[in-house]
């Protein structure tokens, strides 16, 4: 269906993204999957092409165009090529907004040029071994000591945690018996600070080109100048940024489901069974027709949400609806497409298997499907 989300500027950026993915990502992807990450030089290459700093003000080396649709284009172009851009999505769409919204003038000067050039890689550490969905239940603490905060605690499942130069850590700085959401603070922990160590790199079923780490903080002295935003107010900041994080997951889900259909069409046209292409069976046609209809329905909902987000009007419950619908749709569609590959669909050398294993986490991270339903139900007064 015709989409009216993008302007000529976005389409020019799409050409740049397409070329970059084809030349700089696709040929190296299998090697990066084995190594568990995308090399730093590739982030720097993306930085030099202006792909990491679009939203960063020009005075700090960015493009000065805080338009979420450029991120959509980047995800769509990588999905089209059946790859992902490692932790770039997390850096641009999940973490950068915290810096853009809450960094003060001094922090902007210190960090923005490196974020735009790809010299600084980042992670955000909310989840802990004992708590994920219940963000207010975090146990990591930060205690004030003169010009520093002393951070103690452990985080897990942190995307990009092994490579990150800057980790935004959410820590408890005070407790309010009447309001458990009060008292969380964002502190930027830097690579090399004594007491900050990276534990195991976790072995995942999918998303092999991005590392997922356990992080440990033992008496880490973090300068007060590294607090992002106001002390004790982080829960509100998470609430403000999570809708974009959820939208971002939905964008990937729809783009990857669409790619799965393309891959299934190509495969079933060449694969023969009983002397005829698999694509010629009515079942294949009906399955792919149904999948295509699901993708177009999700795309319409998603594009509406992106427009609302660009206008600053996407509510938290609507972001939850979009994430819930698009990620569940992705799972259904990719599963049905994989079925059409027969046994080859189960082999990792076929990209459909990668799409399948990568897809599973979309219903878990950035808030599980169940948590999305909790948010939606609350908006219904339930």
Residue 124 is a binding residue for ligand FAD (CB under 6 A)? yes
Q: How far is it, in rounded angstroms, from Cα 197 to Cα 216?
A: 5
CA-CA distance, 103 to 96, in Å (whole number)? 10
Structure tokens at 164: 């990150």
Q: Could you give the CA distance from residue 337 to residue 278 in angstroms, rounded to a whole number? A: 12
**Residue 349 annotated in active site:** no
Please, what is the minimum distance in Å from the beta carbon of residue 59 to ligand FAD? Answer: 29
* Shortest distance, position 334 Cβ to ligand FAD, whole Å: 17
From 78, 212, 226, 330, residue interacting with ligand FAD (rule: CB under 6 A)? 212
Residue 379 binds to ligand FAD (criterion: CB under 6 A): no
**Across the strands, what pairs with 131?**
128
Under the criterion CB under 6 A, does residue 11 sit at the interface with ligand FAD?
Answer: no
Residue 158 binds ligand FAD, judged by CB under 6 A: yes
Q: Which residue has the tokens 């130069």?
A: 165
Q: Which span sits near ligand FAD by CB under 6 A: 50-58, 266-274, 328-336, 365-373?
A: 365-373
Q: How far is the CB of 28 from ligand FAD (least distance, A)?
A: 22
Candidates 151, 207, 215, 320; binder of ligand FAD (CB under 6 A) is 207
Confirm or reject binding of residue 169 to ligand FAD (CB under 6 A): no
Least Cα distance to 366 among 285, 276, 211, 250 occurs for: 250
Would you say how long the chain is, in residues?
382
Q: Which residue has the tokens 């696709």?
A: 26
- Tokens representing 376? 């939606």
Name which of 13 and 157 has its Cβ closer to ligand FAD. 157
d(CA 90, CA 158): 10
Calpha distance 3→215 (Å, rounded): 42
Q: Which is nearer to ligand FAD, 133 or 379 (CB)?
A: 133
Contacts for 301 with CB less than 8 Å, ≥ 6 apart: 321, 322, 325, 326
Contact with ligand FAD (CB under 6 A) among 204, 221, 304, 332: 204
Residues facing 141 on adjacent strands: 152, 172
Which one of the listed residues 245, 266, 313, 349 is annotated catalytic?
Answer: 245
Binders of ligand FAD among residues 222 to 261 (CB under 6 A) are none
Q: How far is the CB of 258 from ligand FAD (least distance, A)?
A: 22
Nearer to ligand FAD among residue 91 and residue 299 (C-beta) = 91
Q: Round to the nearest angstrom and report the end-to-end CA distance of the chain.
A: 35
**Are the C-beta atoms of residues 191 and 120 closer than 8 Å to each other?**
no
Give the contact letters, 125-144, x = binds to ligand FAD (CB under 6 A), - = no.
xxx----xx-----------
Neighbours of 63 (CB within 10 A): 18
Q: Answer yes or no whether residue 157 interacts with ligand FAD by CB under 6 A.
A: yes
Choices 124-132, 178-186, 305-313, 335-343; region in contact with ligand FAD by CB under 6 A: 124-132
Pairing mode, strands 148-159 and 141-145 = antiparallel
Hey, which residues are catalytic here? Answer: 245
Binding site for ligand FAD (CB under 6 A): 123-127, 132-133, 157-159, 204, 207, 212, 361, 364-365, 367-368, 370-371, 374
């Amino acid at each position: 269906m015709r989409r009216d989300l993008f302007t000529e500027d976005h389409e020019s950026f799409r050409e740049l993204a397409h070329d970059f993915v084809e030349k700089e990502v696709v040929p190296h992807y299998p090697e990066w999957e084995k190594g568990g990450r995308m090399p730093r030089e590739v982030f720097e290459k993306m930085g030099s092409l202006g792909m990491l700093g679009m939203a960063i003000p020009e005075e700090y080396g960015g493009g000065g165009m805080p338009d979420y649709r450029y991120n959509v284009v980047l995800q769509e172009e990588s999905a089209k090529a059946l790859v992902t851009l490692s932790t770039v999505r997390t850096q641009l769409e999940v973490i950068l907004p915290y810096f853009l919204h809450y960094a003060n003038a001094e922090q902007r000067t210190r960090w923005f040029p490196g974020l735009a050039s790809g010299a600084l890689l980042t992670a955000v550490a909310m989840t802990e071994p004992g708590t994920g969905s219940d963000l207010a239940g975090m146990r990591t603490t930060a205690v004030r000591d003169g010009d520093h905060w002393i951070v103690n605690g452990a985080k897990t499942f942190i995307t990009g945690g092994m490579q990150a130069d800057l980790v935004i850590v959410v820590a408890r700085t005070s407790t309010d018996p009447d309001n458990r959401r009060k008292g969380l603070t964002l502190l930027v922990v830097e690579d090399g600070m004594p007491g900050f160590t990276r534990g195991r790199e976790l072995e995942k079923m999918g998303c092999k080109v991005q590392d997922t780490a356990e992080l440990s903080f033992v008496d880490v002295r973090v300068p007060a100048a590294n607090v992002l935003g106001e002390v004790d107010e982080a829960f509100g900041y998470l609430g403000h940024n999570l809708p974009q994080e959820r939208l971002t997951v939905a964008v990937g889900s729809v783009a990857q489901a669409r790619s799965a259909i393309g891959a299934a069409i190509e495969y079933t046209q060449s694969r023969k069974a009983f002397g005829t292409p698999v694509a010629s069976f009515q079942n294949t046609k009906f399955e792919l027709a149904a999948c295509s209809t699901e993708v177009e329905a999700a795309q319409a909902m998603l594009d509406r949400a992106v427009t609302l987000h660009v206008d600053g009007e996407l509510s938290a419950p609507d972001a939850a609806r979009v994430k819930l619908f698009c990620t569940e749709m992705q799972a259904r569609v990719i599963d049905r497409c994989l079925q059409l590959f027969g046994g080859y669909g189960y082999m990792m050398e076929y990209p459909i298997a990668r799409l399948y294993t990568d897809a599973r986490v979309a219903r878990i991270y950035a808030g599980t499907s169940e948590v999305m339903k909790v948010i939606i139900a609350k908006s219904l007064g339930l």
